[in-house]
Each structure stands twice: as C-alpha cells, then as structure tokens.
Amino acid sequence: DLNLIDQLAELQRLGVKSLKIEGRMKRPEYVATVTRIYRKALDNLELAISQGLTSKERYELTQIFNRGFTTGYFPGYQGADMMSFSRPNNRGTKLGRIIGIKKNRLNLRLENDLNVGDGLEIWTNHGREGMIVHKIYNSAGKNITKASEGEIVSIEFNGQARIGDRVFKTHDQELMEKARLSFQEGKETRKRPLKMRLAGRVGTKLQLEVREDEHRVIVESQTEAEEAVKRPLEYDYLYKQLGRLGNTPFYLAELDLALEGNLMLPVKEINEMRRSAVAKLLEYEAPKSLDQEGYTVRINNWYGKLANKQKQARDSHLAQYRLSVAITDLQMLNPVIKAGADRILLGGEHWRSRPVITLKDLQEAIRICQAQNVEIVWRLPRIFNEPQSRKTYSELQTISSWQERPQVMVANLAGIEMLKRIDPNWAWETDHHLYIFNQAALHWLWEQGASKVALATELSLEQLQLLAAPNSELLVFGDMEMMVSEYCIIGSTLTACSGNPRNKCDAKCQSRDFYLKDRMNYNFPLDTDRECRMHIFNAKRLNLLPELPRIANIGIRDIRLDLHRATLAQAETTVSIFKDIWLQLAAGKNISKEKMEEAITYLEKLYPEGFTKGHFYRGVLT
C-alpha cells in the first residue's frame, strides 16, 4: 500500500497543493483513521511543528490495514520492493510469539496491546489460523479485558499451533470503535472557515466585516470607540473574543485588524457584533438549485443541439464502408494491404517484441500506401511522460515539414495540444484509448477538429447506437488491453540484475512468452514496451465478426482490426475474412448463416485460445 506520510514536507516543497486518499473498497473506519492521521500531519506541517507522527499514530496507520507499505514511484522505480508477493490481504501488526501451549490456551508475550474483541492471525507451519479474542487471562490466571505491551497473557484457542509461532493482530477493536465515533450520524464536527476584518478609529462605530467564501456581511458596534486608558484592543484579545463561535457551523480562520490608534470598546459590544454577523450568515440562503422541470427542459434543449450536430456530421461524410488495420511491424504492411485493408494505422506503443519504426520507415510506409491508394495514419503512443512527450513533439515537428505527411491518431489530450501548436490544420483523429462514452465527449472532439473518433471498446450495442456516426470507428477484432503499468513484473521478478531493473534491464521479457494466470486458469498475455511499461491483455481476443450486420445497421462505417500480436499468416487471413463480410454489407447484401459460420470456424482455427465479444452485450456503464 502506498504511504507517503513521511514525504509530505517534500511534496509541499515541490508545490503539491492537494492530496488524495484512496478509500474505495475499504471500510469507513479505514478512511476515518487514515484521514485523521494525515490531517494531523498536514496541520503540523502548516504550523511548522517538526514533531513527526507519534508511535501510537504510526501503529494506528499500520494496524487499520496494510499489506506492507511502499513509497511507490516517488523516490524512483523500486522494482520488486514495490510489491507484496507474499499475500494480497491485511497482514496487521505483530502481536508477539507463542511461548507456551496448555489446555486449549496459548501463552503469549505481548509486543503490542491486546483487547477483548481483537482479531488475530497465527502463522503456523501448515498455514494461517484466524481467531477472535473472547477472553484474556493475565499471568495470575485472572480474566481481564485488556493487556499491555510486555505482559504475558493466555488466550483460548482450539486450532493447531506450536511454540514459537508468530501472532499478528489483524483487527483492533478499540481502534475501530474510535474510528466509528468520528463519523457516526450526529457526531459531525466539520466547520466552515470565516474571514473577519475589524476596522475603525476613535469617535466612530467599529465595523466588522465577515466573509464565508463569496458571501459577505457587515455589522457595526452600537456605540463609538473611545481612546483606551489602560488596555487597548489587541489582536490576541480580539481573536479570542471573535473566535468564540461555539456550536455554530463556523470557525475563525483569519482576522485582519484595521484599527487606528489605541481603541477601547466594551466586550459586550464585540460579542454582539460577532453574534449579529453570524446570525446574518445563517439567514443567507444559497440560490435555489434548478428544479426538475427546468432541468428537463435544459437537458432536452442540449440533446437537441447534439442531435443537430450529429446529423450535420452524417450529412457531411460519405457513407463509405472502410476497414482499418492497426499494425506495429512493417513486414505486415504490404500483405494486409493486399488482403484488403483500406486504412493502415501504423505505430502506437514502442513494443520490445517488434522492430523500432523510425521516421525513415514511416516515410517508406507513406510511399507504399500512396502508391496503392491506401490511407495511412501515424498512431501516437497511449502514454508518454514529460521526456517522452518532448521526443514525440520533436518527431511531430519533423513530420510536419514533410511534403507528404500522414494523418495522426492521438490517444490522449496532450497529442491534440501538440498538433494544434505545430499546425492547427493538421488532420487528426482519436484512438479508442481516449475513452468516449457519451455524446458530449464525442461532439467536443469534433469541435476540436477531430476528423474521426474511435469509440470506447467498453460500450454495449445499446450505448453504441447513441454515438454511431460515419466519422466514428469501432474496434471489432484484436487483443484487448486490460492494463498498462509502469511496474514490470517480468523485469522485477526474473531479471538477473540487482538494484533498479529499469536501469539494468537484461530484456528478460524477450526470452519467451509470459502470462498472468488467474484462478480460472486463464492465461493473460504480457507484453512490454521500450519505455519498460508492462501491458496486460485479455486472455481471449475480441471478435465481433458475427455482429458486423448489427454494427453496420446502427450507422458505423469504419471498423478496426488490431493485429499487434498476430502472426503474418493470421493477419492476412483475418483481414481477408473481415473485408469480405464488410464489403457484402456495404453492398446491402444479407450474410447467410452458413457463410458467417464458415468464417467464424476459420478464425477459431487460427486463434485456438478462443474469442470474446467483450462488452458488446454487457456494457460497463449504465
């Protein structure tokens, strides 16, 4: 688990202004505990308190949930040290070792506090034994509810264990109850900050201005300020009086004084100004939110505008059925063109398993495609960090000067910005990795200048119907990437090098094919790129060949095959099969059941690992 609590000062120095605590799939008590401890650490940092976390706070942060901690990529790539290979669940904190076993009781020498209700896990030679502590006995045999570090106690236990086994506390009942108290209904203590400004001089009424965000109220004292004889109004005194906000929903965050001279005003006047200002703030009602009827009208108008834009897009594009083929190896270029590819998508990730495609190679590919009247698109990587983005930008600048330059496919917003800076008229389209799930995103990209938009592979048929247009493209066959990670499990676990595998990579990933196997015994292929990122693909290839009639029927005219991991023979045959079916649909012909089954059977022989239809009938967004 990531833990940067000791790096907060450095994060502040670097200019980080906000922190995110990941609480998904965790218990509320976890979120409450971690938030509380990080809040205190941030407050100490703001107040320049050098004291770090107390030992108790560190214990609580570790006890609430941990699989071991890491600082992640913050200090640099850490290889195998960044992952927990021993267990995927909470390991708790060490409670001690078994020093004796007698009559279904374990004797423990405690290295931590123990309470009735705590959950324990005993690491035995045959596995791990879990239990809840119902009774605790001290060394004198007395039944107690809690014991402290250093004590010797006994607990009831009916499992198998032996002297010397380690015991871990995986559930701290006292800590959980403490966390629950912080968020139980009716216990909310969060308050809103106020900024106050007190101004005036002798012979005038003092004016108190109070701000909460953009809302401001001003109140005056009932009497005029006088020259102070003994104790003039000072900052500490006024901060104390004006900050007495009791059980109101506010606290005093800032106080600014603009007092001229040594002034005196009775304390009851100061308190009354505070009470009056707070009362006015509480009377303020935020503007009413849009009612349901108004919201419905606004949404319908918005969808009407989108429908008009989509109709204009359909009317402005020829309904030509086209087959795009994504490849990462120049050796496939001529064969897939011959097999029927209408568009070539070249490039993308810089795969270690494929030869590097240089700019000279790209120029040659452009020449080949133009000679055969095939469109070519230069595909940018899905991810690039700052140094990689500079290299990509430099390459694009070079390509922009060519007399014959390709259209560019971008997979992130940075790619769009780069192209606009280099040449606003350069034609570009989006990859399916720039996820498009709704009409708003689709039309935003069109307004930005996209000539074609690849739709998200996670969309169902029902959802695709709302986005289908002649200038949208859908991936219908190929490897579906499930995850991309900076962490390379191959290099971190199998490399013969020591230290940082990224700096001393011996390309172990190229020695053979690697997979991750799940509990159902499915093999998920692994591949790596030249930036040492690991890519995990689905165990089965996407194959929507049987669904092509439905895809054509909803208005999609551009389909894509992604053949990065296919062999040359597989690629040629796959392109030929899809082109044949797609051409018949373009001609308005019905595909017979026999013809479709024959094509599917042929593909199944080519790819024995099997196929999936992905989310075509079960989208992930509802």
- Is 120's pLDDT higher than 60? yes
Distance CA 407, CA 378 (A): 6
Tally of domains in the chain: 5
Q: What are residue 207's phi and psi, to 5 degrees?
A: -115, 125
pTM for the whole structure: 0.76
Q: Interior CA angle at 262 toward 259 and 264, to 5°?
A: 90
Distance CA 248, CA 277 (A): 12
| HSE-up of residue 425 (Cα within 13 Å, Cβ side) | 2
Q: Say which DSSP state 202 is in.
A: T
> Is the pLDDT higher at 487 or at 80?
487
Q: Residues 530-544: what's their mean pLDDT?
A: 93
In terms of domains, do 229 and 324 share one?
no
- Residue whose C-alpha is closest to residue 197's, from 182, 208, 181: 208
Q: Is residue 180 part of a domain?
A: no
Q: Which phi-psi region, left, alpha or beta, contains residue 571 (left: φ > 0; alpha: ψ -120 to 50)?
A: alpha
Q: Residues 273-295: what's their mean pLDDT?
A: 81
Distance CA 468, CA 456 (A): 11
In terms of domains, do 111 and 165 share one?
yes
Q: Interior CA angle at 216 toward 295 and 189, to 5°?
A: 80
Q: Is residue 87 part of a domain?
A: no
475: CATH: 3.20.20.70
Query: Which distant-in-sequence residues (6+ apart) come within 8 Å of 432 by Cβ?
Result: 454, 455, 456, 457, 473, 475, 560
In terms of domains, do 25 and 67 share one?
yes
pLDDT of residue 160: 86
pLDDT band at 230 (very low <50, low <70, confident <90, very high): confident
Distance CA 169, CA 27 (A): 17
pLDDT band at 221 (very low <50, low <70, confident <90, very high): very high
Q: Interior CA angle at 379 toward 375 and 384, to 5°?
A: 170
In terms of domains, do 217 and 277 share one?
yes
Distance CA 27, CA 172 (A): 13
Q: Interior CA angle at 326 toward 322 and 327, to 5°?
A: 140
Q: Is residue 299 part of a domain?
A: no
The CA-atom distances, in angstroms, between 116 and each of 66, 166, 418, 497 are 22, 19, 62, 48
152: CATH: 2.40.30.10
Q: Is residue 242 part of a domain?
A: yes
Q: Residues 110-130: what's their mean pLDDT?
A: 91
pLDDT digits (tens, 9 = 90+) for 367-395: 999 999 999 999 999 998 999 999 999 99
Q: Is residue 310 part of a domain?
A: no
In terms of domains, do 501 and 571 share one?
no
> Is the pLDDT higher at 493 or at 197?
197
pLDDT band at 289 (very low <50, low <70, confident <90, very high): low
Task: Select from 29, 56, 82 the last residue of a domain.
Answer: 82
Q: What are residue 168's phi and psi, to 5 degrees?
A: -120, 145
Q: Please state, for a pLDDT cut of 70, what percent of the chain lies above it.
A: 93
pLDDT of residue 311: 67
For the record, the structure tokens of 301 come out as 């108008």
Considering Cα of 215, then 221, then 226, then 229, what sign does the dihedral take? negative
Q: Is residue 294 part of a domain?
A: no
Q: Is residue 289 part of a domain?
A: no
Q: What share of the chain is helix, strand, coil (3-state, %, to 5)?
A: 35, 25, 40
Residue corresponding to tokens 């196997």: 517
Q: Interior CA angle at 437 toward 435 and 442, to 5°?
A: 85
In terms of domains, do 150 and 71 share one?
no
pLDDT digits (tens, 9 = 90+) for 563-603: 999 999 999 999 999 999 999 999 999 999 999 999 999 99
pLDDT of residue 24: 85
Q: Is residue 145 part of a domain?
A: yes
Distance CA 67, CA 60 (A): 14
- Specify which residues 409 forms β-bridges with: 379, 429
pLDDT of residue 498: 46
Least confident of 304-308, 346-350, 519-523, 541-545: 304-308
In terms of domains, do 135 and 21 share one?
no
Query: Which distant-in-sequence residues (6+ apart) come within 8 Å of 190 by Cβ?
Result: none
Q: Where are the beta strands (DSSP E) in 441-547?
A: 452-454, 472-478, 481-485, 514-517, 523-528, 534-537, 541-543
Q: Residues 537-541: what's their mean pLDDT?
A: 95
- Residue whose C-alpha is closest to residue 600's, from 546, 564, 538: 546
Q: How many CB atoms lie within 10 A of CB 86?
A: 8
> Is the pLDDT higher at 127 or at 544?
544
- Is 313's pLDDT higher than 60? no
In terms of domains, do 145 and 200 share one?
no
Least confident of 382-391, 404-413, 441-450, 495-504: 495-504
pLDDT of residue 502: 58
- Residue whose C-alpha is closest to residue 556's, from 432, 409, 408, 416: 432
- Specify which residues 298 forms β-bridges with: none
For the record, the structure tokens of 498 come out as 């020591």
Task: Select from 36, 58, 82 the last residue of a domain.
Answer: 82
Task: Select from 82, 110, 140 the last residue of a domain.
Answer: 82
pLDDT of residue 497: 47
Mean of per-residue pLDDT scores for the chain: 89
What type of residue sits at position 181? L
pLDDT band at 501 (very low <50, low <70, confident <90, very high): low
In terms of domains, do 271 and 394 share one?
no
In terms of domains, do 584 and 531 share one?
no
pLDDT digits (tens, 9 = 90+) for 26-36: 899 999 999 99
pLDDT digits (tens, 9 = 90+) for 333-360: 999 999 999 999 999 999 988 899 999 9
- Is 453's pLDDT higher than 60? yes
In terms of domains, do 380 and 402 share one?
yes
- Residue whose C-alpha is closest to residue 345's, from 447, 357, 556: 357
Domain residues for the domain of 529 are 481-537
- Is 228's pLDDT higher than 70? yes
Q: Please state, for a pLDDT cut of 90, what percent of the chain lies above it.
A: 66
pLDDT digits (tens, 9 = 90+) for 142-165: 999 999 999 999 999 988 899 999
In terms of domains, do 35 and 24 share one?
yes
